[in-house]
């Protein structure tokens, strides 16, 4: 009973919180296929601010209420659902009802994701799975106690100072049961929620006649190593999927939903902030260049909404006297660049882990640099976001202390960063084919 | 222990390196082969995506190059210690070690690892003995080199796992 019942209660609680936010602030249009998994993501945002940054949550709710009243007085915002298919069939944006074929497709996608994710050993197997689930176990034993624990100087919840949302989410989705198998069930639910949000939103954003391209992009991006991460408690793929979800929401013009996803992104992992900066700055830059001020505004608002909890969390760490060693910033060490470049190359050509993914991506970027007009606007934006992610990550790696280079040399860094890039790469490939 | 042991199915390498790559860095001759294939694929992709005449080939090209993923998929699904045929034995051993340590820690309120000769056991012990606050119990866990085989014995307030 515990294996099914507790996670079900946890999922319903998260969905209830997220649905309340959606209903009160009217964040998502009804016909969005990704509505339900996105509501669960909003529930995770609520969990994070409730557990770690309650005053930020109160402030955000007030700002949301003001925006809601303001929006009520004006015409409802436009949602940029995909235009008509090239065959000339009716537009999804104008369609009065949800396309039944799309609903069947969505159900099949979620079922497929659920099968792949849950078809794993119901036991942590890899190093960081144990580490993340150890924190989740502490949270499960002491509901809403993990944040206090990680802000404690002599904590056993190590490594110290990491954003706590992943273990909080796993414990909540496990119904706060500290049983090993139930915690894995929490992990499985979290992966299903985040992966479904991303994939269904990608379907929402894709014209029916482009779904073959989407399937190809997904197949290419689901490289063997990505598949292993999908079936694990690692946070790298989740972070990348959330970055992809953020990009898709910004493309769809759903700025306030994007802002909530930004909170989840920075709450999951430090790298989430890197993705947030890369995605939003790329969108702001290209939107201004294309004279689309509303898109730039949405991206800027999402960046600010994500960066405030990031800053507040670090302020809490500083006040608690927690010294972060893993990702501490220092000066830019340009001397690392050749070593990092060699490592990135060695990982990217590892065909057993990646298949042809990175070779194709490099080829696409070269082609886009040589002939930008060979790509549509969406493909240009997505490729630009991929490049922005790589550049911001490179600066991040040059600016962090020597500990990060130890991780890189131990083989635990570059491959995982590539896993984080894979979801946006899937979107770029989809738009380019 | 090297990452390449991942695909020979070692439990230790699975725990330590299992999520970093499918089989670890390839040995030298294969490294050069991989590099050559990747450079060729990158050039072919650049041509297919840049050339207006080859635009209609993009989907076919991607469908074709997906074949390169198949050996990695086979390695991930069959050759590693978490692949079909091996994962039951792997999980039985790891679960046995984790269960012994967790039950011991629960029985004593908490427990700390005082001796560890098994690198791969470190995260398992961290998960099994996860607790809030500082552990003041005298209960200790000693992990020998072969602790990952999953056999533990309780001696007084000490849990000894594996041969020293």
Q: Is B141 on the interface with A (CB under 8 A)?
A: no
Q: Are A102 and A164 in contact (CB under 8 A)?
A: no
pLDDT tens digits, residue range A105-153? 888 889 999 999 998 889 999 999 999 999 999 999 999 989 988 888 6
Three-state SS for B100? helix
Contact A416 B19 (CB under 8 A): yes
pLDDT score, position A4: 77
DSSP B79: I
pLDDT tens digits, residue range B93-112? 999 999 999 999 999 999 99
pLDDT score, position B4: 62
- How far apart, in Å, are the Cα atoms of A369 and each of A355, A362, A364? 24, 11, 9
Q: Phi and psi at residue B141, in whole multiples of 5°?
A: -120, 130
Question: In chain A, which residues have pLDDT < 70?
Answer: 1-2, 72-99, 153
pLDDT score, position B122: 93
> A333-357 burial, b if ≥16 CB within 10 A, otherwise e?
beebeeebeebbebbbbbbbbbbbb
pLDDT score, position A3: 73
Q: CA-to-CA distance for B51 and B126, rounded, in angstroms?
A: 54
Task: Count residue pairs from A and B with Cβ separation < 8 A.
Answer: 216
Contacts of A259 (CB under 8 A, 6+ apart): A301, A302, A305, A306
Smallest CA–CA distance from A144 into chain B, residue: B132
Contact A351 B68 (CB under 8 A): yes
Select the residue from A125, A209, A361, A408 to test the B interface by mutation, using most B Cβ atoms within 10 A. Answer: A125
Three-state SS for B114? strand
Q: Are A139 and A145 in contact (CB under 8 A)?
A: yes
Three-state SS for B115? strand
- How far apart, in Å, are the Cα atoms of B55 and each of A280, A291, A420? 30, 28, 28
Q: Are A382 and A221 in contact (CB under 8 A)?
A: no
Q: CA-to-CA distance for A21 and A17, rounded, in angstroms?
A: 6
* Single pTM value for the model: 0.93
User: Which residues of chain A are within 8 Å of residue B90 when distances are taken between CB atoms?
Assistant: 121, 125
Q: Is B56 on the interface with A (CB under 8 A)?
A: no
Q: CA-to-CA distance for A68 and B55, rounded, in angstroms?
A: 45
Q: Is B105 on the interface with A (CB under 8 A)?
A: no
Q: Are A106 and A200 in contact (CB under 8 A)?
A: yes
Burial class (CB in 10 A: 0-12, 13-18, 19+), A293: exposed
pLDDT tens digits, residue range A55-98? 999 999 998 888 888 776 665 555 666 654 444 443 444 444 56
CA atoms lying within 13 Å on the CB side of residue A100: 0
């Amino acid at each position: 009973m515990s294996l099914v019942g507790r996670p079900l209660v946890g999922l319903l609680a998260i969905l209830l919180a997220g649905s309340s936010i959606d209903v009160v602030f009217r964040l998502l249009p009804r016909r969005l296929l990704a509505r339900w998994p996105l509501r669960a993501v909003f529930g995770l945002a609520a969990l994070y601010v409730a557990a770690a940054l309650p005053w930020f949550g109160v402030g955000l709710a007030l700002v949301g209420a003001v925006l809601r009243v303001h929006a009520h007085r004006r015409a409802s915002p436009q949602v940029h659902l995909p235009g008509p298919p090239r065959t000339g069939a009716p537009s999804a944006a104008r369609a009065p009802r949800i396309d039944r074929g799309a609903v069947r497709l969505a159900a099949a996608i979620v079922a497929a994701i659920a099968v792949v994710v849950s078809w794993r050993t119901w036991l942590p197997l890899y190093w960081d799975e144990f580490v993340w689930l150890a924190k989740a176990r502490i949270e499960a034993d002491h509901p809403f106690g993990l944040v206090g624990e990680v802000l404690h100087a002599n904590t056993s919840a190590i490594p110290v100072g990491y954003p706590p949302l992943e273990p909080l989410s796993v414990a909540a989705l496990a119904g706060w049961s500290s049983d090993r198998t139930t915690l894995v069930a929490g992990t499985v639910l979290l992966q299903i929620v985040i992966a479904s949000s991303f994939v269904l939103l990608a379907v929402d954003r894709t014209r029916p006649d482009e779904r073959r391209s989407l399937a190809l992009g997904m197949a290419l991006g689901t490289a063997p190593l990505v598949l292993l991460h999908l079936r694990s408690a690692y946070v790298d793929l989740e972070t990348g999927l959330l970055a992809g979800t953020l990009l898709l929401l910004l493309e769809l013009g759903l700025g306030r939903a994007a802002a909530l996803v930004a909170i989840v992104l920075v709450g999951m992992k430090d790298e989430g902030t890197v993705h947030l900066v890369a995605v939003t700055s790329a969108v702001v830059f290209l939107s201004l260049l294309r004279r689309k001020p509303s898109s730039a505004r949405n991206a800027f608002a999402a960046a600010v909404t994500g960066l405030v909890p990031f800053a507040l969390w670090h302020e809490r760490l500083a006040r608690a006297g927690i010294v972060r060693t893993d990702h501490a910033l220092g000066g830019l060490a340009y001397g690392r660049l050749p070593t990092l470049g060699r490592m990135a190359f060695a990982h990217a050509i590892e065909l057993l882990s990646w298949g042809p993914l990175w070779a194709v991506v490099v080829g696409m970027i070269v082609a886009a640099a040589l002939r930008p007009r060979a790509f549509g606007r969406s493909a240009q934006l997505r490729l630009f976001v991929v490049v922005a992610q790589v550049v911001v990550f490179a600066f991040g790696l040059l600016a962090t202390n020597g500990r990060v280079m130890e991780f890189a040399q131990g083989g635990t860094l570059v491959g995982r960063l590539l896993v984080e890039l894979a979801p946006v790469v899937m979107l770029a490939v989809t738009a380019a084919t | 222990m090297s990452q390449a042991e991942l695909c020979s199915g070692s439990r230790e390498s699975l725990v330590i390196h299992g999520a970093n790559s499918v089989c670890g860095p390839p040995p030298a001759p294969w490294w050069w082969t991989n590099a050559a294939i990747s450079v060729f694929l990158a050039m072919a992709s650049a041509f297919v995506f840049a050339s207006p005449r080859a635009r209609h080939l993009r989907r076919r090209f991607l469908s074709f190059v997906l074949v390169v993923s198949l050996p990695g998929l086979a390695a991930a699904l069959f050759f590693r210690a978490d692949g079909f045929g091996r994962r039951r034995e792997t999980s039985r051993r790891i679960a046995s070690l984790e269960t012994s340590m967790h039950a011991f820690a629960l029985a004593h309120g908490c427990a700390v690892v005082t001796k560890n000769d098994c690198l791969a056991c470190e995260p398992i012990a961290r998960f099994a003995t996860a607790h809030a606050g500082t552990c003041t119990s005298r209960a200790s866990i000693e992990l020998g080199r072969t602790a990952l085989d999953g056999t533990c014995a309780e001696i007084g307030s000490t849990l000894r796992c594996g041969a020293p």
